[in-house]
Amino acid sequence: MQWHGDEAARHSELDHVSIAAAADVKTPQARCTRLLTRDDEASVFSRLRRRILRSVLRQLWQESSLRAALITFLTISFWLIMFVLFHEGFGLLRTAVTHPPTLARAVHAVYNVFFLSLLLMLSVSAGILYYAAIYKSPEVNLLLTLPVHASRIAAEKFIEATVLACWGFVLLGSPLLVAYGMVNQTPWGYFALLLPLLISFAVIPSAIGALACLSLVAIAPRYRSAAVGVLGICLLGVFLYLVWIVFGHGQQEPMTALWLQTTLARLRLAEQRVLPSWWLSTALLELAHGGPAGVFQAIGFQCVLLSNALFLPRVVALVGGLTLRRSYGQLSHGTNLSLPIRAGFIDRALNQLLRPMSPTTRLVLIKDLRLFRRDPLQWSQFLLFFGLLSFYFVYVRRFDYGVQLTGWMTAIGFMNLGVVGLILSTFTTRFVFPLISVEGQRFWILGTAPVNRRDILWSKFIFASSITCLPCCLLVLLSDIALQLWARTPAMVVTHQLICVLLSLGLSAMAVGLGARLPNLREPSPAKIAAGFGGTLTLILSAVFVIAVIVPPAVPAYLMYSTSHLAVLPGSISRTPEYWFVGALAASIGITGLAAWLPMRMGFRAFTEMELL
């Protein structure tokens, strides 16, 4: 068997947990009964983390130096692009709002909403990752058989989930805050405390998510029906609230004093002083504009964040020590999980609906849909995908604007479409790309049956496009309703829906095709498969595809409704922007066809010729 460096280091160090307990013990009876102290356990696991990190870095440098260089280059490029965009945005805001108190209030309100949304996002994301690290990891199954305190296992997995959940937050938040400091020429203390503030804040939602995960797994198996019912009622309530938000308020003209006051008043929901997001935003603004007194206040908020960041992980370890072994056993062996199976009706309905397909494609597709609804890691992140975009609609109201702003609202509609497309690209990369690799590890089951491999790929493509198309179309439609595009420019609403379908088909085909062309059959974790070279390449190409599909029709669509810009364009373009729009839309359809056909063709060839044992 070929051992990877990190696996060898992991098992070597885990052996120390049992071997060290017997060190310096003379009698066999004492050798079997002595346990490691908590300090010794912490030392062993700390040494384990260091060895795994060194092994992974050494292996990455020796075997995948090109991949490491590519990932580093792309990360730095992404950071610089985000920094430039935020720098220009803050410069424009400072020029547009010339009243300093109003500008400070607006920035504080935006920061509160931004960090509150990140607080919610990190809590859910960390809870999902913690669930995968604890209850879906074979390593925990091994650790529970060793003389290790359950609290130590919970604490170590919390560190792992926190790092995985928060690196993206630091990568996204740092260019925003650095750009704000550069535009406003803040003192050096702002930049010195920036990273400690971000790290201290990031630990808090991670701990909240981990505590929620441990509590739900410990309680939900006993009251599973009630938990599902409460979750359904909450989701229905959120949906009805969003509908009321979009349709139940009067229209307002944007870019006016009344509109600005109403918007700031609506953002007060995020200004609760008990929220860590308010502590962070207030500390940053005190550092930027508070002078010497503001520095002391910012240090006080840093101490509050740091104390909570040190205290909550201890609570996670305590709760994990009390509930982990029992909840792990209940979840693994199905204790108190007896429920009548009602999924047969859904499967029969799908079977009738998919009758036109081949039997193999139909059965594999039903199997994938069944696994999707049974796996909380998948549908919970799918709900997170909806939640983030739905949170946006809480702060978007219907506008009543004149003809002169129709072009800008059209541009905003296309930007919302771009946001949906980029988030969809991350979803397909995270969940659709690893499907073939995971399927290949179990392919010996299908290999004994008369199954055409092309049917397997087609089923993955249909599965991915079916679960992504309808949600994206619905979210973009809500965006168009909020922007009044459905009444002013119905052609743009139809265009947005068409582009949503193109994005779903193209991104699904790219993820399935490249997943079959660049599989990783040695890694059992779908998250690590998506984070590898193939997943990184798929994410980059997916982002390029989203831009290539949306930008061509967006430019002529904006020009059609912006008369001020038409006057400075060449005569052939200014007289016929509609023809340019139709041509650009046809180009987007052609790009989608090429982006879907080429990866699927490569995937068909590679998957058909692949030798799987």
Residue 189, in any domain of the structure: yes
Indicate whether 87 and 47 sit together in one domain. Answer: no
Say whether 399 sits in a helix, a strand or coil.
Answer: strand
Are 368 and 460 within 8 A, CB to CB? yes
Under the banding of pLDDT at 50, 70 and 90, the label for residue 312 is very high
What's the mean per-residue pLDDT of the chain? 76
51 and 123 in a single domain? The answer is: no
- Joined tokens for residue 89: 């945005």
**pLDDT of 192-213, one tens digit each?**
888 899 999 999 999 998 998 8
Number of domains making up the chain: 3
Q: 470 with 600, same domain?
A: yes
The sign one gets for the Cα dihedral 416, 417, 419, 423 is positive
Of the residues 32, 63, 94, which one is the last residue of a structural domain?
63
Give the residues across from 399 on adjacent strands: 252
Spatial contact of 202 and 169, defined as CB atoms under 8 Å apart: yes
Burial of 229 (0-12, 13-18, 19+ CB in 10 A): exposed
Enumerate the H helices of 185-290 as residue ranges: 188-192, 194-219, 224-247, 257-266, 276-289
pLDDT exceeds cutoff 50 at 214: yes
What are the CA-CA distances from residue 315 to residues 158, 203, 213, 276, 319 (Å)? 11, 13, 13, 17, 6
Within this chain, do residues 55 and 115 fall inside the same structural domain, yes or no? no
Give yes or no: residues 548 and 598 share one domain.
yes
Q: How confident is the model over 133-179, as pLDDT tens digits?
A: 888 788 888 888 888 888 888 998 999 888 877 877 777 788 888 88
- pLDDT-wise least confident of 69-73, 512-516, 547-551, 573-577: 573-577
Which of 158, 205, 163 has the alpha carbon at shortest distance from 321? 158
Q: Could you tell me if 131 and 19 lie in one domain?
A: no
The pLDDT of residue 4 is above 60: no
> What is the rounded CA–CA span in Å between residue 241 and residue 244?
5
In a domain, 74, yes or no: no
Report the distance separating Cα 68 and Cα 58, nearest Å.
Answer: 11
Give the separation between CA 607 and CA 515, rounded to whole angstroms: 9
Q: Is residue 478 part of a domain?
A: yes
Do 453 and 324 share a domain, yes or no?
no
- Note whether residue 185 is domain-resident: yes
Give domain status of residue 238, yes or no.
Answer: no
pLDDT at residue 495 above 90? yes
Mark whether 115 and 172 lie in a shared domain.
yes
398/472 same-domain check? yes
Per-residue burial over 505-529, b = 16 or more CB atoms within 10 Å of its CB, e = otherwise = bbbbbbbbbbbbbbbbbebebbbeb
361 lies in some domain: no
Do 517 and 586 lie in one domain? The reply is yes
List the domain range (segments joined by +) for residue 139.
82-222+256-337
Mean pLDDT of the region 298-322: 93
pLDDT digits (tens, 9 = 90+) for 594-604: 999 999 999 98
Residue 598: per-residue pLDDT: 94
Tokens, residue 581: 């729009």
Say which residue the tokens 């609506």 belong to. Answer: 266
pLDDT at 483 over 90: no
Which is higher by pLDDT, 445 or 118? 118
CB contact set of 312 (below 8 Å; sequence gap of 6+): 203, 204, 207, 208, 211
Least confident segment among 9-13, 121-125, 393-397? 9-13
Q: Over 90: is that where the pLDDT of 120 sits?
A: no
The answer to whether 320 and 155 have CB atoms below 8 angstroms apart is: yes
454 and 554 in one domain?
yes
The beta-strand segments (E) located in 492-551 are: none
Can you tell me the mean pLDDT for 351-368?
74
> Among 288-297, 316-325, 342-351, which range has the highest average pLDDT?
316-325
Evaluate whether residue 438 is within a structural domain. Answer: yes
Q: What is the pLDDT of residues 52-102, one digit of tens each?
A: 888 877 877 776 677 677 777 777 887 887 788 788 877 777 776 666 777
The amino acid sitting at 84 is: V
Would residue 251 count as lying in a domain? no
Flag whether the pTM goes above 0.75.
Answer: no
Question: Using only C-alpha atoms, what is the Rg of the chain?
Answer: 27
Q: Are residues 51 and 198 in the same domain?
A: no
Per-residue pLDDT at 443: 65
Domain endpoint, select from 313, 337, 361: 337
Cα–Cα separations (whole angstroms), residue 189 to 65, 258, 287, 288: 37, 36, 7, 8
The residue among 215, 227, 229 whose CA lies nearest residue 327 is 215
Report the pLDDT value the prediction gives residue 546, as an integer from 0 to 100.
92
* Distance of alpha carbon 398 from alpha carbon 488, whole angstroms: 12
User: For every residue of 283-346, which 3-state class applies, written as one string?
Assistant: HHHHHHHCHHHHHHHHHHHHHHHHHHHHHHHHHHHHHHHHHHHHHHHHHHHCCCCCCCCCHHHH
